[in-house]
Every structure is written in structure tokens, then in C-alpha cells.
Amino acid sequence: MNLEPLRIGLIGCGKQAPKHIEGLRSTGRPVDISVYDTNCQAVAALASNESVTPVESLEVILNDSGIGAVIIATPTPYHHDLIVAALQAGKHAFCEKPLCATLAEAESIEEASRRAGKFVQVGYVYRFVPAFRFLHDLLANRAQPLGRLVLALLRLGGRGSHSVWKHRSSSGGGAINEVLVHILDLAGWLFGPLDHALWHQKLLLRSERVIDGTRVSADAEDFVLVTTQGRGGIHIVLQADLLTPAFQQTLEVNGEAGSFLGSIEPQHPSFIHLLETRGEFAAGRRSLSFPQENLFHSQMRNFVENILRGTLVDCATVADSLQLLKIVEQARAS
């Protein structure tokens, strides 16, 4: 059966754009992608490299009734206005993380989504990591293999130094928006709702960066340490930075009856260790291996399925981001 192409607008032609385009094309459904950016050279380069349709203005995408959804892949300060404009134009939206800069903006987006009857999906790709999906199912297992959860440790170390804006506060850069939100969303998905957040450290340890061969100043934080609590009183420690020369990510969960260790990195050892047999899970240590997946493919397949069904399933929502931003603002206030 020949299917009509799904028409999607992509706003923002930076590093993430080709990943979204590849992800959309991995779904097996034909897609017609129009791209726009305020940087005309970026639009032309992306159009040439990816064989997508360049447009000259944002209004071309917003006013095209045949485009049913947009992907927003711009720096954070532009998210709110672009999402609201897309919703008011009658389009579903997918927005790269974080959803927006403030709790007030998130509430505005939630209201615009309700009025338009269109959804907003948020790009927290870590929810599609096989190791974390295994853990999500493990925690939902009636046998409760890990027992009562006591402590979770989440760390994400990013390399940084890819773009100047990612290290400037005025453009929404810094370790909070770039890396902390990933593991904070992950903690909320696995252990939420979260509460009682405390901000222990927010530091700028590298005030200069070399980006594209040029030494530039940085003023956005590059190290953060936050603690919070999840359901059942589990204590959660989150450490995120833009300092590590090599990407690092781990998630460790300890319960009264066992432990789990996993990572987004396929080469990182993952295991479950139980003190006693519970359900189908035997006592002792069991190494875990997971198939390698392209997370952007998984995320875009989910987005396309959500467009076709007209509602969000199995992904991060505006409501999730509201909870996340409440925790961020609570932590900042502390």
C-alpha cells in the first residue's frame, strides 16, 4: 500500500537536525521534511546534505496546513515562542530538551497545548536506552526484585566545547540545561514524583574554552550536584558536568534486596545483583547485555506513531517537564 508522505517542519539546522532527519527516515514511512533556521547558510548546507526542502521563513512552515507537526531543535531561549506558535498554527510539536527556560513558560505551553488540542513531546532520549527500559520494567515487577529502594546515583559527564552558546548563560547554555535535565528526567520517570530537592553545588570550573580553534570565555555553570527524593523515600543523587574529556554516564540503584547498575554506553558493564531469588530473578550477580539501538531512531519512531494516533504514549510530556522545572527551581531556591 502506498502511503502519503508525512509532512514535518524542522526548525533549527544545527548539530541535532541531521539526527532527527535520519530518525524520521528510519520509520519506514515516507516523510517530506521542510527546514528553517535564521542562519541561511545552515539551511542551505542541511538541505544539500540531507536532501530536504529549505524554506525562507518560519511563516512558510507555520502557514502550511499540510505540515502536521514540527520539530524544534534550537537553543533553549527560543523554545517557548516557537512551540506556542506551532500549537497556535494547529501543529503537534516535538521539542529538544529542555522544554523551556522557566516554570512559567512551561505552564504557558501547557495552556497553549490544551487550547489547540495538539500535543508537545519533549526530547528526553535517555528514556529509550534499553538498559533503562529494563530497569523501568524491573521496578514495575510485582516481585520487587530490588526490594524497597533506598539510594540512586546518577552521573552524566559531557564533553562540552562543541558550541559557544552551550557555555553562555544568555543563550541557555550550561550543565543544567545541557546535561542535568537528562538525568533529572530519567530520575522522574523511574522514581518519581520527585520532591525535596537541594542544590549542593553549582560551579564554573573552566571559564575559558577552545571551540573551533578559538579561545572563548564561558560564564555558564559546568558542574552541578543536586539531591532529591522519589516515591517511597528513595534518596537520589544527581551529578552532571561539561568537564569530562570522554563522555561518561552511569545509573546505580540500591534497594534493600539488591542493586542495579546500567549505562547509556554499550561498553559499560551493566548488572543486577540480588540477595535472594525473587520471582523469575535468581539470587546472585547477573551480567546484563542489551542490543545497540540508535536512540534518535527509537525516539523519532515514537514521535511518528504519536502523530498518527494523535496523542502521546511512552515519552516525555509537558506535564513531566513541569515536574522537572519545579524541582530545578526548588533546587535553585535552596
Average predicted confidence (pLDDT) for the chain: 95
- Please give the Cα distance from 208 to 90 (Å, whole number): 43
**Gap between the Cα atoms of 275 and 113, Å rounded:** 47
Examine residue 333 and state whether it is found in any structural domain, yes or no. no
250 and 199 in contact (C-beta within 8 Å)?
no
Residues 205 and 156 sit within 8 Å (Cβ to Cβ): no
Same domain, 149 and 94: no
Cα-based distances in Å from 71 to 16, 137, 266, 316: 11, 29, 28, 14
CATH code for the domain of 143:
3.30.360.10
| Angle made by CA atoms 263, 240, 192, in degrees to the nearest 5 | 70
Tens-digit pLDDT profile for residues 47-92? 999 999 999 999 999 999 999 999 999 999 999 999 999 999 999 9
CA distances from 11 to 36, 95, 117 (A): 5, 10, 21
Instruction: Mark whether 139 and 192 lie in a shared domain.
Output: yes
Confidence of residue 1 (pLDDT cuts 50, 70, 90): low
Instruction: Considering only CA atoms, give the Rg of the chain.
Output: 20
Dist CA 230 CA 150 (whole Å) = 10
For residue 43, the one-letter residue type is: V
What's the CA gap between 197 and 10, in Å, rounded? 35
The answer as to whether 150 is a domain residue is: yes
| Residue 184 belongs to domain spanning | 130-291
Residue 171 shares a structural domain with residue 37 = no
Q: Report how many domains make up the chain.
A: 2
For residue 320, tell me if it sits in a domain: no
Q: Are residues 272 and 302 in the same domain?
A: no
Residue 334 lies in a domain: no
Q: Please report whether residue 65 resides in a domain.
A: yes
The pLDDT tens digits of the residues spanning 255-271 come to 999 999 999 998 899 99
**Shared-domain flag, residues 136 and 122:** no
pLDDT digits (tens, 9 = 90+) for 320-330: 999 999 988 88
- Is there a single domain that holds both residue 153 and residue 106? no
3-state secondary structure of 197: strand
In this structure, the answer to whether residues 228 and 99 fall within a common structural domain is: no
